[in-house]
A and B are shown apart, each in its own frame.
Chain A
């Protein structure tokens, strides 16, 4: 589904990703771990097409298409979803309106009929349960005045409604208490299917107790310095990142 080859990217003159190569197949969950500043979030943003980042080298192919040539909204319409580390507030725009606009634009791009507000309401009610939120969420402004946990749950709720083929969760666990973490993780697990793939970007191992990855990759200094199975996450929990970070630095030098 996703093939990343020797990806280099950064902001301005600062190179953050220094040659990432990664393959993700349908049905898989990949965890990308690493210390702060290793480039995890940059990878997520670059895959989603954030214009603040410039790709300087490498290729990304998504279902056979050149992902890097697609505008961010086209990527979304083709099933790429990013759960933001810092979900953005849009005061005055209701969650329901925002999400229905997104849902309909995606449908339109895929040659499907748009749904009206009532049909949409039926559709989302179920999904709300998934993240244990009530209907009042729909009439509130997008992320405006939400607590940190509510924002993260709202991201997963949006993901549930838009049902992406490739979901990228960027530090979805940060700032969540243990109950919220479990709810979010259960939401993600229920959405898992053989057709979809998920990339979980996280600093800590604890989320991976709930969302069990098929592969774990460790990022340091903009490169993947180690890949393994789910047991790698436990090893990291025990040893920290230092030993790998040195390896990463060495590789650059």
Chain B
């Protein structure tokens, strides 16, 4: 098709700028002293330090896993910087105390923290190089008894909640990257919605990696107490750098009896250039525990960025009648790689899970869906529905599917549907014949392909995701 479209492939990553702020960093490398330093800098209670050290010692005995369908050069963990914080960040009373340079950064990203203060709708916690620089809408939230703050503040102000729930979904020993995160994580977001409270607005965290050679290790913990419900959004960007940057976050969600947690991600980390140089390694552990009866955990993700995406937002369906959902769109273009999917672990009776995965591969990208549905012996009448669709654009990309099913209770009902399609030249020609340009045609066809996932996203995110998809795939038909 038209070669003019090719030129669009090299469209610049719009968020690739670097912010010039003074940072407080520790020397590169990892040892117990670094961990003690991080813990001391954050003025943490003893239990936190102990937990970190336990994780670190465990990590030393672990090997970096290589079962993913992704390829990358070895990471030198001793050359990474494990703590970097904008210098001016002290416990803040209000946004007025935030470094104006940081506020400008967020304005550039289209997330005006100042505006967020006035506008209702979304409360934002902004994380800059692993440290929370400001959380908006706090007063409004506290009226409802909702705690929404940085992880560091939660450790200071609500240590009992942190101690009670930290590591209960993703233990410090869970996997290599989760153990590393537990040892060195510097900040993240924390949310607690008390009994019976429906959170009146979307909670949102915006992650930004700025510093060079810095691993970003943030940790998010969200708890919906009995009868509570909350919807949480996560967005991410990073500057363009030639080196790869490691992002190894952990997210833990907990839903008690009759509670609902909905977690949506639009991930747009820098993906590297057209030659595959640079970009983020996004090795993240996300898991939710539907602990209570009738509880529900729902993941929706739109993954368009990162050089490598390696993550499996999962649900442990522990409570009877609990529900787990996973809606995913993963897009790879150029030389991006994604190995992503979910695990649904059915423990309670009458538990129900839904998996809808849409993988789109373009350029020389490689996309793998990897999913596990496990039904344990006591999970009477468990149900799972899995739908796994792949779309290929061009002939240098790849789509792979690795579904695993383990059933130990014969009352279970599992359905699996899968499809692979190639975006048709006939579809594009049809659109063009109606006057629609090739780029618009591709974004329209792909959006249609992803519609079942997009409709799960909160409104403002759905629009963003759709635009992002259009940008990511621009020029992929050539």
Binding site for B on A (CB under 8 A): 48-52, 71-73, 75-77, 81-82, 84, 87-93, 97-99, 101-103, 105-106, 109, 141, 158, 162
Contacts and interface: CB of A to CB of B under 8 A. Distances in A.
Given A90-B445, A92-B450, A105-B437, 12 more contacts: A49-B433, A72-B432, A84-B430, A88-B427, A90-B430, A92-B451, A93-B444, A93-B451, A99-B434, A101-B440, A102-B435, A141-B448
11 contacts: A48-B433, A50-B429, A73-B433, A73-B435, A76-B434, A90-B445, A93-B444, A97-B444, A101-B434, A105-B435, A158-B434
Contacts of B424: 88
A58 to B, nearest CB: 21
Nearest to A72: B432
A102 B436 CA distance: 5
Given A93-B444, A93-B447, A141-B448, A88 B426 contact: yes
Given A51-B425, A71-B2, A105-B440, A92 B435 contact: no
Contact of B434 (A89, A141, A162): A162
> Is the contact region of chain B dominated by helix, strand, or loop, or is it mixed?
helix
Given A90-B427, A90-B444, A109 B432 contact: no
Contacts of A109: 435
A72 B430 CA distance: 9
A52 B425 contact: yes
B1 interface: yes
Nearest to A93: B448
B449 interface: yes
A143 to B, nearest CB: 9
Contacts of B450: 92
Contacts of A81: 433
Contacts of A75: 433
A49 B433 CA distance: 8
Contacts, number: 80
Contact of A73 (B432, B448, B452): B432
A222 B437 CA distance: 31
Contacts of A49: 432-433
Given A84-B430, A87-B430, A88-B426, A73 B436 contact: yes
A106 B435 contact: yes
B394 to A, nearest CB: 15
A73 B437 contact: yes
Nearest to B438: A73
A228 to B, nearest CB: 30
B448 A92 contact: yes
Interface in B445-475: 445, 447-452
A106 B437 CA distance: 10
Contacts of B432: 49, 71-73, 76
Nearest to A158: B434
Contacts of A105: 435-437, 440
Contact of B435 (A93, A97, A162): A162
Nearest to A161: B434
Contacts of B427: 88-90
A158 B425 CA distance: 20
A224 to B, nearest CB: 24
Contacts of A71: 2, 432
B435 A51 contact: no
B448 A90 contact: yes
A88 B433 CA distance: 11
A92 B447 contact: yes
Of the listed residues A52, A81, A90, A99, the one surrounded by the most CB atoms of chain B closer than 10 A to its CB is A90
Of the listed residues B1, B435, B440, B444, the one surrounded by the most CB atoms of chain A closer than 10 A to its CB is B435
Contacts of B447: 92-93
A30 to B, nearest CB: 20
B278 to A, nearest CB: 33
Given A90-B448, A92-B447, A51 B433 contact: no
Interface in B74-115: none
Of the listed residues A49, A72, A82, the one surrounded by the most CB atoms of chain B closer than 10 A to its CB is A72
Contacts of A87: 430
A80 to B, nearest CB: 8
A212 to B, nearest CB: 26
Contact of A98 (B429, B444, B449): B444
A76 B426 CA distance: 16
Nearest to A109: B435
A156 B334 CA distance: 40
A88 B430 contact: yes
Interface string B348-389: 000000000000000000000000000000000000000000
B1 A51 contact: yes
Contacts of A77: 435
Nearest to B389: A91
Contacts of A91: 448-449
Interface string B279-300: 0000000000000000000000
Interface in B396-432: 424-427, 429-432
Nearest to A48: B433
A101 to B, nearest CB: 6
A50 B435 CA distance: 13
